[in-house]
Structure 1
């Protein structure tokens, strides 16, 4: 009992440390003053400034477009990458491929960003929308692979053999057996890629060019010029969007789980 209480206290402290700065930032986004030294009164003026800032709205749209495109493309590539790894028969080769995929996830963002900067400079790709999109796709694909691969490993090979015995073609096996089974992993990979793209700063900072920016880079640039509560308002909106994505993923995952359970009961 004592261990359980200590565990609960520890979890509470962890969540307080993680979320206290966020809620502190959100709280002062409603401050009528111009600093975070004292709360002078409630106002929505900082949010009005965010929505009246044309440059900021364009940057937000750029960030959203990059995130959606990179998440969609990396999900497609990641699914086929996970399928390719799962079909490798030699265990050592398969483990090597999985390790190489995981190395890309744990590699420092600074090294990845610098590598992309050197690559784009050598091959002549202009820094801007294209360079940011390509780099986001590159670091998102391993995330999708690591989300989809466990679902493929869980799937029994008897499902595929049964489908082929019934005369299913390779496309039928893929579209009607494999993809429906790994759908939760595909959604998880898509939402993870989406949130990583929305939040990324280090890699984007290296590969963005003049005339193009994302919200993370813009917030950093404005914060260096001085503390403005408009940044608080913008950061609050980003946090709420990310929270909505997490809730959306959770609801889709729950619905998928219920539909699978219902299918099992019917069978």
Structure 2
């Protein structure tokens, strides 16, 4: 048993090394004064200064953050509503059908999703740019929020709602004072995951972005095609670190929420 566990841990370490080694290689050379990714000469912040002194890049950063925050907020609202709707469906077959439709955008390849949105926006006459990127990000973020919120709803005891009704609470009061406070960790988790997906997405955004509007992922790809520049490494490093901060924040909030509800249950 111990031997199997040891081999499992070794395998896990190897997988993480393979996954993260290219990222750390990229981050390492973002501090290279030599300007190449072959020979490290001296430690420098030159490439980070170049990133922060690029007006066009700063506008793209703002575009990316605005799209991510708006799409995460709107998709969280829609995702919570969708999770509540699925939760209240009584028929098992209908509930499974709704969950299947919800999971389609998660399991479908990004290329197909991006191409589908491109065709849809072209037929609908929607100009490619901020609106098209925002709508597509909302669309693929809503199913993620639903999957984050639904388990918290399923953990909630129906007796909580019954007790609230017995005490004279109407449906709105039950929703705002019982259900939403209980599923708050799931809501925050869905918001942070939607924010992370929006910040990191490239494939879908590449299809639906237009002239004059870009996001960081698309900009990094465009600059990489022009040739090796360590400003790309610096920009990618900043984006990676920001994503890590979001994920850490999500786990901290989830653990605090779980602890609070655990203490409340013991009381």
- Whether 1:204 and 2:209 are equivalent positions in the alignment is no
TM-score where L is the length of structure 1: 0.98
2:152 paired with 1:165: no
Which position in structure 2 is the counterpart of 1:67? 68
Q: CA deviation at 1:247?
A: 1.2
SS of the residue corresponding to residue 139 of structure 2 reads helix
Q: Which residue of 1 aligns with 2:28?
A: 27
The CA distance in 1 between the partners of 2:218 and 2:185, in whole Å, is: 32
Q: Corresponding residue for 2:37?
A: 36
Q: Which runs of 5+ in 2 are unaligned?
A: none
**Aligned-pair distance for 1:7?**
1.1
The alpha carbon displacement at 1:57 in A equals 0.6
Give the whole-Å Cα distance in 1 for the aligned partners of 2:13 and 2:119.
44
- Cα drift, residue 78 of structure 1: 0.4
Q: Following the alignment from structure 2 to structure 1, what is the Cα–Cα distance between the partners of residues 85 and 4?
A: 45
SS of structure 1 residue aligned to 2:212: coil
Aligned counterparts of 1:44 and 1:191: Cα–Cα separation in 2 = 30
Deviation at 1:192, TM superposition (A): 0.7
Mapped to 1, the partners of 2:113 and 2:5 lie a distance apart of 41
Equivalent-residue separation in structure 1 for 2:40 and 2:239 (angstroms)? 22
Q: 2:46 maps to what in 1?
A: 45
Structure 2 counterpart SS, 1:41? coil
Q: What's the RMSD between the two structures over aligned residues? A: 0.9
Q: TM-score, normalised by structure 2?
A: 0.98
For structure 1, the residue ranges without an aligned partner over 5 or more in a row are none
Residue equivalent to 2:231? 230
1:101 Cα shift?
0.6
- Tell me the SS of whatever aligns to 2:244: helix
Aligned length: 266
Shift of residue 253, structure 1, vs aligned partner: 1.5
